[in-house]
Amino acid sequence: MNTRIQGGGRRTRAVRRTTSLVAVLALAGVTAAACGGSDDASGTPAADATPVAGGKLTYATIQEPGCLDPGYDPSTVTGVINRNIFDSLVSQTATGETKPWLATSWTVSPDGKTYRFSLRDGVRFHDGSAFDATAVKATFDHAVDPATKSLYAGALLSAYQETRVIDPRTAEVVLERPDATFLQSVGTPSLGIQSPASLRRSAEELCTKPVGSGAFTFVSWTKNRDLVLAKNTAYQWAPDAASHDGPAYLDGITFQFISDDTARFGALTSGQVQVVNNVPAANIRTLKANNSLQYLRADSPGLTFSLLLNPTREPLSDVRVRRALLRAVNLDELVTSVYFGEYRRAWSLLSPTTIGYDKSLEGTWKVDQALANRLLDEAGWTERDGDGFRTKDGKRLTVVWRTGAQLDRDSRGVVAQGVQADAKKVGIDLQYISEDVGTFSQHIFAADLDIWGGSYQRPDGDILRFAFASDQGITKGGGNLYGLNDATLDRLLNEASTTTDTAVRTKNWAEAQQYIIDNALAVPLTVGANLVGASEKVHGLRFEQSSNLAFFDTWLDPTK
């Protein structure tokens, strides 16, 4: 039987909105903190105020895109910018529910391999051409074309076979194998629909002059400085996940690239920009104390900042040593002292806002250095050398954590030092080595790492398959760095990625998370978050499920 998902009529919108807002606060961990505790409602998403159109917003962001072709560039900032320029077939609510957008409805074949999309009428790209099924085909074909050299979009379509243009209003996407995350992927800005005429241009033009059908049109991009977007006044095809129909409220958005933390935060406090991201945790107190500013945060979904332990190499091949490391780290204390409570400690390899997060892991592996010591004794690391580190047969218990110098952001180096100090308490010599990216990538591709530390922002538990399934080796474009071949994880994760049964997926992802902790294949450290500061003028600033900022419903209060 075909599963039919029908787009809701506009009339039912108001009701859905309320429920989804509640869901946002409850599930997505999005907390919009009213600042200064004053009686004005500036900090809250001001549901009662009536939006006013007009005004331009400047958003200072730490990162700058390399290329604006959504089919090519993998970086988060590119997604944030492109979300305004490109529309997708489907939209996602802040909790990850899939809603209609450029596709008004869709059906999935029983074998899960064919998706038939009915497309919205009357949509026009910024270049004036009309949106139809050929645009869907052109966009998806572009993403998987080796000549595009896609760094992310192509991977999202790893199961893609072809798109069939049935008629101008109907597109059928055929997959080689069922892919439960396909719709989720289609909704990301990376697979935002591009104008077919635009796609025939050179790679350079695709990178620098994006043409979509979104609520904002591209105006200019001055490298190292800013990128300017203007309102698309003809916009009448807002996603069902948005709060309003018609064009966006803002007349334009300027993305200003300010990489220096102090300068970026200063630009906000002095009123030169209205929104900044990556507020350093140490500045949050200042932000909260300022009545004319508001503080918003959203936990990022995906892989928490974690250490992936290499079970194929001595000494971490011994599960007791891995478990000892897992239990030796006093995370609660470490994370609080480094991030002043703005980042949470992690309990699972998945962050709490990831679809498929297993909450039951919380509180199950508290710090226990006595246990860690016992495990190491059992593993035979009983002797101690002059520096107090454990030894066995005259060899010191050393594990090496290598990292690329450019990956040390967000005070991660400080966290690393804390982990190192705790490891030393139980006699493990954990060496944290920061090297240039070239050397580091050499180590990665030679698979001679003991520990890899990092995070991945992804919407759902399928990131576990990327990191652990045996067919996701690093040379095949996957993230299974150590070439693991674990039958249990393979079964759980591959089944989760192909089943259409949500219950099975949830159960498998939960089991996989528990399996990873039980076998200490990873040491989850912190839950990353998007820490945003904004002027009190700014209303309707929303986080997507990805924890990226969305500006479609954003408006500026002219009275402030």
- Under rule CB under 8 A, residue 228 binds other proteins: no
| Strand partners for 390 | 384
Nearer to other proteins, 14 or 446 (CB): 446
- Return d(Cα 144, Cα 157) in angstroms, integer: 7
Residue closer to other proteins by CB (options 131, 452) is 452
- Supply the minimum distance, in Å, between the C-beta of residue 343 and other proteins: 23
Structure tokens at 278: 């990556």
E-only strand ranges, 350-424: 383-384, 390-392, 395-396, 398-404
Does residue number 531 form part of the binding site for other proteins (CB under 8 A)? no
Rounded-to-integer distance, Cα 546 and Cα 19, Å: 19
For other proteins, give the closer residue by CB, 50 or 202: 202
Smallest separation, CB 55 to other proteins (Å): 19
**Nearest distance from C-beta of residue 221 to other proteins, angstroms:** 11
Asked if 526 and 416 touch (Cβ cutoff 8 Å), the reply is no
- Which residue number, 166 or 405, has a Cβ lying nearer to other proteins? 405
Question: Measured in whole angstroms, how far is the alpha carbon of residue 246 from the centre of its chain?
Answer: 28
* Residue 221 to residue 68: CA distance in whole angstroms: 10
Phi, psi of 251 (to 5 degrees): -75, -25
Please, which of residues 49-88 interact with other proteins by CB under 8 A? 60, 66-67, 74-75
Residue 506 CB: number of other CB atoms within 10 A?
A: 16
- Among the residue ranges 91-99, 125-133, 384-392, 472-480, the one whose residues contact other proteins (CB under 8 A): 472-480
Is 400 one of the binding residues for other proteins (CB under 8 A)? no
Nearer to other proteins, 52 or 203 (CB): 203
In the list 312, 439, 500, 502, the residue contacting other proteins (rule: CB under 8 A) is 439
Would strands 160-167 and 170-175 be described as parallel, antiparallel, or unpaired? antiparallel
Residue 421 binds to other proteins (criterion: CB under 8 A) = no
- Among 23, 27, 49, 151, which residue sits at the site for other proteins (rule: CB under 8 A)? 151
Q: How far is the CB of 270 from other proteins (least distance, A)?
A: 4
Range in contact with other proteins (rule: CB under 8 A) among 146-154, 229-237, 292-300, 511-519: 146-154
Residue 445 within binding range of other proteins, rule CB under 8 A:
yes
Q: How far apart are CA 448 and CA 437, in angstroms?
A: 15
Beta strands per DSSP E along 141-257: 160-167, 170-175, 216-222, 226-231, 252-257
CB 70 within 8 A of CB 78: yes
Tokens standing for 280?
């350093």
Number of residues counted as binding other proteins (CB under 8 A): 54
Q: Per-residue x/- marks for other proteins, 508-527, CB under 8 A?
A: --------------------
Of the residues 100, 478, 524, 540, which one makes contact with other proteins according to CB under 8 A = 478
Give ∠ CA 142-302-91 in degrees, rounded to 5: 50
* Contacting residue, 41, 130, 165, 207, with other proteins by CB under 8 A: 207
Q: What is the distance between the alpha carbons of residues 362 and 203, in angstroms, rounded to a whole number?
A: 47
447 binds other proteins (CB under 8 A): no
Task: Scan for tokens 């194998």, then name that residue.
Answer: 177
Residue 51 is given by DSSP the state: P
For residue 391, the minimal CB distance to other proteins (Å) is 31
Binding of residue 289 to other proteins (CB under 8 A): no
CB-nearer residue toward other proteins: 168 or 266:
266
Nearer CB in complex with other proteins: 129/434 = 434
> Rule CB under 8 A: is residue 409 a binding residue for other proteins?
no
218 forms part of the interface with other proteins (CB under 8 A): no
Q: Which is nearer to other proteins, 412 or 505 (CB)?
A: 412
Q: Which stretch binds other proteins (CB under 8 A): 101-109, 320-328, 357-365, 440-448?
A: 440-448
What is the nearest approach in angstroms of other proteins to the Cβ of residue 135? 22
User: Residue 258, interface with other proteins (CB under 8 A)?
Assistant: yes
- The runs of H, that is alpha helices, within 388-542 are 412-425, 437-445, 462-468, 487-498, 502-518
Report the C-alpha gap between 221 and 238 in whole angstroms. Answer: 25
Contact 343, 297 (CB under 8 A): no
CA distances from 12 to 104, 108, 286, 527 (A): 15, 24, 41, 35
Strands, DSSP E only, in 101-169? 103-108, 114-119, 160-167
Nearest Cα residue to 90 out of 185, 216, 162: 185
- Contact between 282 and other proteins (CB under 8 A)? no
Q: How far apart are CA 113 and CA 119, in angstroms?
A: 19
User: What angle separates helix 319-328 from helix 412-425, to the nearest 10 degrees?
Assistant: 110
147 touching other proteins, by CB under 8 A = yes
Site for other proteins contains 545 (CB under 8 A): no
220 binding other proteins? (CB under 8 A): no
Residues that bind other proteins (CB under 8 A): 60, 66-67, 74-75, 146-147, 149-152, 154-155, 203-204, 207-208, 222-226, 256-260, 262-264, 266-267, 269-273, 404, 406-407, 436-442, 445, 474-479
